[in-house]
Amino acid sequence: MLAMITKLKYRLGHVSDKSWHWKVTEFVYGRRAQGKACTYYWFKVPTSVIAYAALAAVASVLQGVRILYIVVAWIFGYRFIGKLFDLDDEITCQRNFTDYKERPDGTRFRFAPWEYLLLPLSVWVLGTLIFEYFDMTVKIIAWLVATSVVFSVATLTLFILSAVWQHPPFVRARARAVSAWNRACLPLVVEGANHGTVEDDTD
């Protein structure tokens, strides 16, 4: 049983630099990818996978913002003439839009979309101010008060925890925990042509 545990610890403590999890972790953490094997498997690999998923989500959001920017520019009278789904084709560059109230073929139109929207928008704003102004004001004030209370409580909590964390008993307890951690968890060893054999006992 002991030999099996020793073999398992050895295998978990050695990773190939060609493995998918090492490549993902190294991409996210860089030099900090090396360290303790426990930290690597319990924290760095999962957070690296989450970071990759987050990058995909961010790319989708950026594409959505790009489309929204182009639509808003069209409403205000500018036509996008660049490549819609090419993220390298800047949407903030003037050369990717026609002049104000100009079609891509060079002809001009009399009214921009925002001018058509101006009348119903004005009616909506006026109606909101007349019929919902009081309720809206109460909601805004309540939101500001709630936000201020949450921020104040969070700041006070962090201040108290910071003071307690530096108290001598907690400092000694942290030192003992670090010592036990270093004995229990082996350093991660990265093997491969790109790394040779890299052993690091940093966290």
Q: What is the DSSP string of 132-175?
A: SHHHHHHHHHHHHHHHHHHHHHHHHHHHHHHHHHTSHHHHHHHH
Pull the structure tokens for residue 157: 């909590």
- Model pLDDT, residue 5: 60
One pLDDT digit (tens) per residue for the chain, 203 residues: 556 666 666 677 788 888 888 888 888 888 888 888 888 888 899 999 999 889 889 888 888 888 899 899 888 888 888 777 777 677 877 778 888 888 878 888 888 888 888 888 888 776 776 666 667 667 777 888 999 999 889 888 888 877 776 777 777 776 777 677 666 677 888 887 566 554 554 44
80 neighbors 51 (Cβ within 8 angstroms): no
- Distance separating alpha carbons of residues 182 and 203, to the nearest angstrom: 9
27 neighbors 48 (Cβ within 8 angstroms): yes
CA dihedral 14, 19, 22, 23 (to 10 degrees): 150
**Which pTM was predicted?**
0.47
- Distance separating alpha carbons of residues 116 and 113, to the nearest angstrom: 5
Helix, strand, coil content of the chain in percent (nearest 5): 65, 10, 25
State the burial class of residue 113 (Cβ atoms within 10 Å of its Cβ: 0-12, 13-18, 19+): middle
Give the residue from 122, 102, 104, 120 showing the smallest Cα distance to 112. Answer: 102
Question: How far apart, in Å, are the Cα atoms of 44 and each of 17, 21, 29, 162?
Answer: 15, 9, 8, 25
